[in-house]
Each structure stands twice: as structure tokens, then as C-alpha cells.
Structure 1
Amino acid sequence: MSCIVNINRFIIPNDIISTITNIYKYIGKNDIYEQTVGNDINRIIEQTVGKDCYYIARILSLDISDNRMRLIVTKNSSPRTKDETTLYRIKEVLTMIQMKHQDLTTQSNDLINIANYINPNQNIKYAYQEENKKVILKSQSMRSKRLLLDEINDISNNILAKQSFEQIILNLHFFIDFYNLKPFSEENETTAFLLLYLLLLKAEVYCFKYVSFFETLYNSYDRFEVELKNASFNWNEGFAQTLGFVRFFTKLIFDAYLNTEDLIKAYEFDQNINKSDNIENTIYKLPNIFTKEEIRAIHPLVSESTINRTLSKLRDENLIKPLGKGRSAKWIKIN
């Protein structure tokens, strides 16, 4: 049991070494990205967290309408249902991770506190694992999964302190261990996703400050599920086959950095011209019927207020008019 305990068995093949090397070339530009966006970094992270909330809600199949989701994520509307409370608190946790990830730890107490915070109506506790040993009473063979999680965490921290294994790949194996261990009585899946988010940022994979991690994951979720299932096979026996998962995930990170490069270039371009004029020009090139989402896809780092201001200006000039309301509302050009 545990990938981390057996991490020295994992041989990194040449193609993954190549991908990791390219990722580190972009990680070396993290400071340049932040210097480029300057004081807009907090606004950009807020937008990224908003997208993260929308897509993790889809991944977790939370029963929340798009309109309520928008109000909770962008307006801090008070939650009305259990699923809305979960999303509201996930947003707070994601924001905390973005802002304070280097100070946060993956200790067992911290992770169960996250689980209990997400679901305040449940007294989430550690589950137990039955060990293979001969005892008189069954209860004597039960071991708290907290102890197993602490062991995995201690080994991981020791490896990082010695710098004896590459951190991104190590952290991916930590996630696989947590996912399969299922250490809590409730909220294991949600906590696992938030742990993965934290582990990536702690490895300075800062493309996910600019590009939504959960949107990126959602777009490849079928493949993610397949690779995670394959990586979990024989996990209990200590022979998990994690190569496919690592190959998939390092490629996902590399592609996210390519998207970040494009976003930063677009941001630099927008800084050199009037942002509203640039959005107007984009609208003219869109189909006769379009949505704000299409504009955001082209200008993801432009603020919501700038997009709304441009739409209102064109509406007042009788160049466009809205079709419906809410997040999925469409606009039509007036010829």
C-alpha cells in the first residue's frame, strides 16, 4: 500500500523527463508573468477561482443552477441548500489555497479540517483500516487511517527536504495515495481534489493562477478518470501502475502553461490599446448571436466590468440587444 512508500520503484521514462523539463522552463518564468500583470494579479486570481468553482461544481455534480452559481461565486450570495453551502465553502478554500499555499501544510489535521469546513453539518472523522495480523478481537486489528496518512505525509516531506525526488511527480503520487486511502468518513473525493489543487501550487505550478485548473481538468475528465482508475489498480497490494496518470497529468500541466503564455501575450497586447475598443472589435468578428462566454474565452484576463461596460455601450448605440438574462444569456447584433 502507498505509492509514496514505494516511490523509489518509479522509473521516470524519457518522454516524461522531457515534458517535466519543459514545464520547469515555464516555471522559471513565473515571476515574469506576475510582473507583467502587476497589480491585476489579485483580480486575475479571483476570476480564475470563479471558473474553478464553476467547473468543480460540475465535476462533483452539485445540484446548483447556473444563476445561483453565478450569484454565489461572483456576488457572495448566501447559500440556501447543502450543495450551495458546499460550493460557497469550496470557493473560500480555493481562495485561501491560491493566496497562502506556501504556508499551508498537508498534515492530517489540516486536511480533516478542510473536510469538516466544506461540510459543516457532518462530524467527519477518520476511518479505520483492517490490518493483516492475527488477533483475538477484530477491533485489535483496526488501525486509524490517520496514522497511515501521517506516515505518507512524513515520508513525502522527508523526500522533499532531501530533494531526492522530483516534486511534481511526487505530489501526484501523494494525491493517488490520498484518493485510494479515503481516510475520512465523508467528503473524501472533494478533499482529494482540493488537496491536488494545493499540491500543484506548492510545487509552484503557477499557470493555475491564470488558467482554471478545474476547467482544464473538466475538459479532459474522461481521460483523467481512466488514468486514475488504472493508477489505483493494485494500490492496496503496493503495486500501483501510475505511469499513465503521471504522463497524462504532466502533459495537462504543460498545455496549461502554453495557454498561460497566450494569455500573458494577450494581456500585454490589451495594455497597449483601449480595452473597450479591443472588445468591440472582437464582438464585430463574432457571429450575429453571441454570448459573454465567447468574449471571455478571447479576453480571459479582461475584467467583467469592462466587458459589461462595452456591451452596455453598444446596446445604448443600438448596435446590439440582449436575448434573455443570466450567465448563459445571448446577445444579437442589430443590422
Structure 2
Amino acid sequence: MKALMNMDRIQINNEMMMLLLSLYESKGKTFYYDDLFNRDLHAFEKKTMESNLIAIAKYLDLSMTDSRIKLFAKKPMTPRTKDEFLLSNIKSSLNQLHKRPEDFELLVNEVGNLIKLLSKNADPIQFNTYDLEEEGMLKSKKHSKKDDLEKLMNLFEKNLKTRKYELTQLISNFYIDFLNLNILSKHNDLVGLILLYALLAKDFSVFKYVSFFKFFLKEKDGWKSGVITANYYWSSGYAQTDMVSRILLNILISSYEEVDDMAHEYVFERELNKSNNIENSILKLDEIFSKEDLRKRHPNVSDATIDRTLKRLKDEDKIRPLGKGRSSKWQRIVSGNKKFGVEQLSLFGD
């Protein structure tokens, strides 16, 4: 707990401040993204889960072929090896988390449930113990690190409630403390990483749409160096967590940049599809039609999209306006049997 107990040691320089400002500016678009992607949320989450599992398998250097990893990521599979059982259990854990990431609570019971999932059909994961000296000569008793974990979690929540410290800094320092306390008998690093991800996913909903572990894998070497650096001075209470925190910020910012690009593309495709639908409606309407006719057929399409479509078709000489103003009509231009570039074919013509 030496990192979280000494959060006042952390100084945020101008560069870090600019990164944080960029991050929280992007985070402010959360409601926009949620509203935009709501219709296809399941598809985004499915793709994100697949990317997460593939990246985790590579990060852990699991002894599995790429094709086998992709199969496990895409559909239910029967594990055959120890590493396959582990990946299958990780998949179950992340599926549980992804159901309602905003409801995740940093509790010892949650960690207990997580290690049960991860150790299914494998060797159990236990809380480590150590001898704790008591008053009196040569007196000691076994102490469970489960109690230390609870203290660490309480300290995280206490620091969070003070609102004195930035969230990603708290998460980074919690992670370093968790690693150094050596809480679990096995997979301590993996559980720490999943907890870090859970804490991020709780407050940064961007990871519904893009894969955290895809970006994390790219930072594998830098992250390991950052952890080594942080661990070096941990026992003195001055863990150097700057590198870890910076990498975490870069991952978050890159994730928001990707989802922003996705949003632009999504809007473009959606508007393009709407425009095509309006054009198809014009083909089916009477030769003379009004904008109101299009509104009735497409009640969920904005006037701006209808106007853009009409202008495009006019520029393409497919329609022409009849009059001006709100009550103006439009005429579909017909030249022989040719409409909108579609020509009727004669089977028996020359």
C-alpha cells in the first residue's frame, strides 16, 4: 500500500496535464458515442471482446496457435490444454465484467469470484499467507493477504472520495501496490491486470467500442519497464509510477481517437444509406412529388439529409425543382425509358 499511501509525492508536469486535458475532453463525448452506437452496441461489444482475448493470449504468450486463439475468441470452444483452459476462463471473466462494467465494485468478494473463474478446471488460486509477529517473545500467527487486499481497496476508495487525486493516477498506483503485495499464490499479475481494466472500464466507457488490450499489447515492453521502475523504489514509499501512468494515459487517448474515427465513419455510412433510401423512394413516388412526401416515408430522417439528397440528385440531373419555397414540388426527370441511370433492356432489339 506504499504507493497509495503516499499519493502526495506525485507531481504532474505540463506535458501530463495536457494529456489529461485531452483525455477528459474526449471522455466528455461519452453520451454522444453511446447514443450514436446504441443500435449496434452488441456488434461493437462482440468485436471488442474478440480483440481483447486475442491480445491477452499474445500478451501472456499462451502456447496456442493464432488460428486456435481466434476460434476461442469468436465462439465457444472445448479447451484441451492448460493454456486453453486459462484463456477460456479469462473469456468468462471478461464476459461477466462486460455485462455491466459501470457496476463493478472494488471488493474482496469480487476478487474471490474472479479467482474462482480463473481457476476453473485448473489448479486453485489461493490468497497468500505470512507470519505476523505478535506481542511476546517468539509469538507469531498466520496472516492472510486477503486482509491486506481489503486494506488496499479501502485506501483506494478513501483516496478517491477525497477528490484530491486524478483517477488514472490512483488506478496506476493501486495496480503497483497490488503487484508488490503479492496477494495471490498464482496469476497475481493477471488478476492485477484484470482489476486495472475493470477500474478503467467502470469510468471510461470507450472500452465498449474499442479493445483496451489491443492497445495494451502494443505497449507491452514499455509497460514491463515501467513496472520494474515503479517496483524499484516501492518499499521506500516513493514508487516511480510516472511511466506506467503515462502509458495508461496514452492507451486511453489512443482509444478515444479510434472511437472518434469510428464515429465519423459510422455517421458517414449512416447518412449515405439514408440518402440512398431517399433516392429509392423518389423512384417509387409519382413523377411530381414534394418534400413532405419524403418526410412521410422517412420520418426519422432529418430535413438536412433530405435537402442534401435533393441537391445531389438535382446536380446529377435526376430531378428538378418546380417553383420555390416550402410548398415547392419536384419533378423526376424521365428521358425515354431511362430513370436514374437505369436503362430498360430489350431482349429482341438491335
Please say if 1:182 is aligned against 2:188: no
Residue 67 of structure 1 aligns with which residue? 67
Q: Distance in 2 between matches of 1:129 and 1:189?
A: 19
Residue 51 of structure 1 aligns with which residue? 51
Q: Distance in 1 between matches of 2:233 and 2:136?
A: 26
From the superposition, tell whether residues 138 and 263 of structure 1 become closer, same or farther in structure 2 (CA, over 3 Å).
farther
119-128 vs 192-201, greater mean Cα deviation: 119-128
- CA contact 1:101–1:201 (8 Å) conserved in 2: yes
Map 1:162-173 to 2 at 5 A.
162-173=162-173
Q: Distance in 2 between matches of 1:266 and 1:189?
A: 37
- Residue 96 of structure 1: how far off its partner (Å): 2.0
- Residue 225 of structure 1: how far off its partner (Å): 1.0
- CA contact 1:3–1:174 (8 Å) conserved in 2: yes
Residue 87 of structure 2 aligns with which residue? 87
From the superposition, tell whether residues 76 and 237 of structure 1 become closer, same or farther in structure 2 (CA, over 3 Å).
same
Letter of the structure 2 residue corresponding to residue 95 of structure 1: N
Residue 245 of structure 2 aligns with which residue? 246
- Residue 135 of structure 1: how far off its partner (Å): 6.1
131-140 vs 89-98, greater mean Cα deviation: 131-140
- Residue 132 of structure 1: how far off its partner (Å): 8.0
120-129 vs 49-58, greater mean Cα deviation: 120-129
Residue 126 of structure 2 aligns with which residue? 125
Q: Secondary structure at the match of 2:164?
A: coil
Residue 265 of structure 1 aligns with which residue? 264
Q: Secondary structure at the match of 2:236?
A: coil
Residue 198 of structure 1 aligns with which residue? 198
- CA contact 1:112–1:184 (8 Å) conserved in 2: no
- Residue 233 of structure 1: how far off its partner (Å): 1.1
Structure 1 regions of 5+ residues with no counterpart? Answer: 275-335
Q: Distance in 1 between matches of 2:29 and 2:46?
A: 21
79-88 vs 156-165, greater mean Cα deviation: 156-165
Give deviations 1:300-332, integer Å, cap 9, x for gaps. Answer: xxxxxxxxxxxxxxxxxxxxxxxxxxxxxxxxx
- CA contact 2:133–2:140 (8 Å) conserved in 1: no
Letter of the structure 2 residue corresponding to residue 125 of structure 1: Q
176-185 vs 4-13, greater mean Cα deviation: 4-13
Q: Distance in 2 between matches of 1:211 and 1:27?
A: 14
- Residue 178 of structure 1: how far off its partner (Å): 1.1
Give deviations 1:175-204, integer Å, cap 9, x for gaps. Answer: 1111222201112121111111101112x2
Give deviations 1:7-49, integer Å, cap 9, x for gaps. Answer: 1222222221221111111111011011111221121011101
Map 1:227-238 to 2 at 5 A.
227-238=226-237
From the superposition, tell whether residues 131 and 234 of structure 1 become closer, same or farther in structure 2 (CA, over 3 Å).
farther
Q: Distance in 1 between matches of 2:187 and 2:113?
A: 11
Residue 104 of structure 2 aligns with which residue? 104
Residue 14 of structure 1 aligns with which residue? 14
Work out the number of aligned pairs and report it: 274
Q: Distance in 1 between matches of 2:239 and 2:139?
A: 28
Q: Distance in 2 between matches of 1:135 and 1:188?
A: 33
From the superposition, tell whether residues 265 and 222 of structure 1 become closer, same or farther in structure 2 (CA, over 3 Å).
same
Letter of the structure 2 residue corresponding to residue 18 of structure 1: M
Please say if 1:2 is aligned against 2:22: no
Q: Distance in 1 between matches of 2:102 and 2:218?
A: 27
Q: Secondary structure at the match of 1:143?
A: strand
Q: Secondary structure at the match of 2:143?
A: strand
Give deviations 1:84-124, integer Å, cap 9, x for gaps. Answer: 12111211211222222222222222113212211222232
Residue 157 of structure 2 aligns with which residue? 157
Residue 214 of structure 1 aligns with which residue? 213
- CA contact 1:3–1:240 (8 Å) conserved in 2: yes
Structure 2 regions of 5+ residues with no counterpart? Answer: 274-350
Q: Secondary structure at the match of 1:109?
A: helix
- CA contact 1:46–1:95 (8 Å) conserved in 2: no
- CA contact 2:101–2:201 (8 Å) conserved in 1: yes
**TM-score (norm: length of structure 1):** 0.76
Q: Distance in 2 between matches of 1:229 and 1:255?
A: 24
Q: Distance in 1 between matches of 2:196 and 2:211?
A: 13
- Residue 82 of structure 1: how far off its partner (Å): 1.8
Q: Distance in 2 between matches of 1:13 and 1:143?
A: 40
Letter of the structure 2 residue corresponding to residue 50 of structure 1: E
- CA contact 1:2–1:152 (8 Å) conserved in 2: no
From the superposition, tell whether residues 188 and 167 of structure 1 become closer, same or farther in structure 2 (CA, over 3 Å).
same
From the superposition, tell whether residues 249 and 209 of structure 1 become closer, same or farther in structure 2 (CA, over 3 Å).
same
RMSD over aligned CA atoms reads 2.3
Q: Distance in 2 between matches of 1:157 and 1:14?
A: 27
Residue 307 of structure 2 aligns with which residue? none
- Larger relative contact order (C-alpha < 8 A, sep ≥ 6)? 1
Letter of the structure 2 residue corresponding to residue 162 of structure 1: T
**TM-score (norm: length of structure 2):** 0.72
Residue 28 of structure 1 aligns with which residue? 28
Q: Secondary structure at the match of 2:4?
A: coil
Residue 301 of structure 1 aligns with which residue? none
